[in-house]
């Protein structure tokens, strides 16, 4: 492992350990798996690190499939993206963003300047190695280029629909 990669890994682990966020009902992970998922023949991959790790895990109330399989196979979202995000609070999240088909928009939406609608799911990884869904937001893109986020209250209901591959109305 190069010095830069080693330094990055040390900083990432220090960041995770310095956070002070708590949440009930979390799943746990083995920190050695984070490092193992960062390596693929000695190089970083497009889906390395925490994204790959989260995608291989299962949520406590949704043991029927891995997070990655459930989200990546959800047929109502067309464009799907996973990424790691470092927050100002020094926590790291894994964010899933998926966009609905344009046919999901009605005339009223188009008149309001809405050009796209989708879903954003934030997974937080705690310093103790546990992880959980922190927030789910409806996202809307507008003709002026702005993207708005609207936090959703029914996290369990939305996750249930994703895992059952049933349509979500946003």
Cβ atoms of 9 and 38 within 8 Å: the answer is yes
Percent of the chain with pLDDT over 90: 53
Q: How far apart are CA 125 and CA 127, in angstroms?
A: 7
Identify the pLDDT of residue 151: 97
Tell which wins on pLDDT, 104 or 132.
132
Reported pTM: 0.70
Nearest residue to 51 (alpha-carbon basis) of 96, 2, 1: 96
Question: Encoding tokens for residue 60?
Answer: 């406590």
> Does residue 7 have a pLDDT over 50?
no
Domains of the chain, residue spans: 3-163
- pLDDT-derived band at 139 (thresholds 50, 70, 90) equals very high
Q: How far apart are CA 92 and CA 83, in angstroms?
A: 10
Main-chain phi, psi angles of 127, to 5 degrees: -60, -30
Average pLDDT over residues 83-112: 86
Question: Encoding tokens for residue 148?
Answer: 């708005």
- pLDDT-derived band at 124 (thresholds 50, 70, 90) equals very high
Cβ atoms of 102 and 118 within 8 Å: the answer is no
Q: How far apart are CA 53 and CA 73, in angstroms?
A: 17
Residue-wise pLDDT tens digits, 15-66: 433 333 333 334 444 444 444 444 333 333 445 688 998 999 999 999 999 9
């Amino acid at each position: 492992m190069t010095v830069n990669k080693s330094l990055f890994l040390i900083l990432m682990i220090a960041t995770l350990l310095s956070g002070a966020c708590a949440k009930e009902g979390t799943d746990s992970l083995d920190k050695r798996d984070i490092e193992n998922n960062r390596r693929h023949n000695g190089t970083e991959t497009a889906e390395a690190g925490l994204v790959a790790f989260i995608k291989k895990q299962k949520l406590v109330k949704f043991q029927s499939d891995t997070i990655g399989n459930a989200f990546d196979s959800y047929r109502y979202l067309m464009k799907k993206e996973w990424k790691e995000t470092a927050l100002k609070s020094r926590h790291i999240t894994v964010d899933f963003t998926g966009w609905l088909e344009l046919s999901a928009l009605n005339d009223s939406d188009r008149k309001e300047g809405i050009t796209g609608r989708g879903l954003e799911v934030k997974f937080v990884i705690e310093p103790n190695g546990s992880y959980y869904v922190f927030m789910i937001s409806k996202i809307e893109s507008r003709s002026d280029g702005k993207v708005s986020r609207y936090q959703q209250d029914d996290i369990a209901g939305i996750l249930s629909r994703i895992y059952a591959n049933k349509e979500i109305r946003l």
